[in-house]
Homo-oligomer: A and B are copies of this chain.
Amino acid sequence: MVTPLQDFLFKTLGDPTRRAIFERLCRQGEQTVGTITASAGVSQPAVSKHLGVLLQAGLVSDRRHGRETHYRARPEALAPLVDWTKQMAGFWDARLDDLEDLLRRMDQ
Interface set of A (CB-CB < 8 Å, partner B): 1, 7, 10-11, 13-16, 19, 22-23, 26-27, 29-30, 63, 73, 75-76, 78, 81-82, 85, 88-89, 91-92, 95, 98, 101, 104, 108
Q: Chain B nearest CB: distance from A83 CB in Å?
A: 11
The residues of B that contact A108 with a CB separation of less than 8 Å are: 63, 76
Which residue of B1, B16, B26, B27 contacts A23 across the interface (Cβ within 8 Å)? B1
Q: Chain B nearest CB: distance from A54 CB in Å?
A: 13
Q: List 18 A-B contacts (CB under 8 A).
A: A10-B10, A10-B13, A10-B14, A10-B16, A11-B16, A14-B14, A22-B88, A23-B88, A26-B91, A29-B104, A73-B88, A75-B89, A75-B92, A76-B108, A78-B85, A78-B88, A82-B82, A85-B85
